[in-house]
Amino acid sequence: MTLTQQKLDELEIIESIYPEKIEVDNHDLVNCQDCANDPGKHPILRFNIKFDQLHLEVLLPSDYPEGASAEIRISWSALDSSQEFQIDDSIKLILSENKGDSVILLVMSELTNLLLDIVNDQLQSRNLEDSPADFPEASIYSRVWYYAHHIYSREKRTNMLQWSKEWCLTGFILPGKPGIICIEGLKKNCKEFNSRVRAMNWQLLKLQHEEPTLSSEEMKFENFKELIFDVHGRDNKHQDLGQFRTFLSEIGLDNVFQVLFNV
């Protein structure tokens, strides 16, 4: 697959997650589409991702991703200088650690979490203090969502399926790149699963969202299984996230898609 086609595949994934937030340079896009199958031509690709206050300017150089790293600039008036440096350093670290790979979606996830940490630390602390700690944990159910850079390993997937049976957990694995894990069940059993899954070797695995105090009536799944939708992209490792979003919407969890991918 040519470098240009890799850029286009990555853009397609980003557009499926942020369909109304992304603006692509039309000249760059036409050049890339014209040269997608030409291994001797590697046009650049530029696009912007715009939220209410946060703007990202992205440039994928001619030899990205195998050679040069992506160039990313952010702007948000709410950040002070020290916070800008913190985020800039974090982005540079992600780019350097993942050189040779498509990284924009990973950067978006990390960036949004950094911004949330900066802006919402106090609010999150209050929410934790207000949680019903006096409830007996044996009767508390939880639903936990993990975001992984990728989930390919058959061994990992088999282990998670086995652990779900061992601890009577329901939910799913969405293998591919990115990968998503959702577990629900008794809170103490979710903690056991968390300990084991984090002990495995991951390029990136984050506990992206947790619903810590649910009743048994709020459980959404009958079992634990793998989800497979249409796949595309290099090596057919990217699942159709639009279909995944539809799946969540049909069971009343559409809001979680926004949390998982920071839409």
Hey, where are the domains in the chain?
A: 3-108, 137-261
Q: What is the mean pLDDT of residues 230-246?
A: 76
Asked if residue 240 has pLDDT above 50, the reply is yes
Asked if residue 171 has pLDDT above 90, the reply is yes
Q: What residues contact residue 25 under an 8 Å CB cut-off, 6+ apart? A: 45, 46, 47
Q: Give the pLDDT score at 134.
A: 38
Note whether 244 and 232 are within 8 A (CB).
no
Asked if residue 131 has pLDDT above 90, the reply is no
Q: Which carries the bigger pLDDT value, residue 139 or residue 56?
A: 56
Do 3-108 and 137-261 fold alike per CATH? no
Question: Which of 200, 203, 153 has its CA nearest to residue 175?
Answer: 153
Asked if residue 146 has pLDDT above 90, the reply is yes
Q: Give the pLDDT score at 85.
A: 72
> Cα dist. 73→42, 46, 64 in Å?
22, 12, 16
* pLDDT tens sequence across 56-112: 899 999 999 888 889 988 887 666 666 777 788 888 888 888 888 888 888 887 776
Q: Which CATH class is domain 3-108?
A: alpha beta
Determine the CATH number of domain 137-261: 3.30.70.100
Side by side, which strands form the sheet with 205-214?
205-214, 141-148, 179-186, 170-174, 224-226
Query: Measured between alpha carbons, how far is 149 from 103 in angstroms, rounded to an integer?
Result: 9
Q: What is the mean pLDDT of residues 209-223?
A: 87
Q: Which carries the bigger pLDDT value, residue 230 or residue 177?
A: 177
What confidence tier does 215 reach under pLDDT thresholds 50, 70, 90? confident
What confidence tier does 128 reach under pLDDT thresholds 50, 70, 90? very low
What confidence tier does 248 reach under pLDDT thresholds 50, 70, 90? very high
The mean-pLDDT minimum among 124-128, 202-206, 223-227 falls in: 124-128
DSSP summary character for residue 63: T
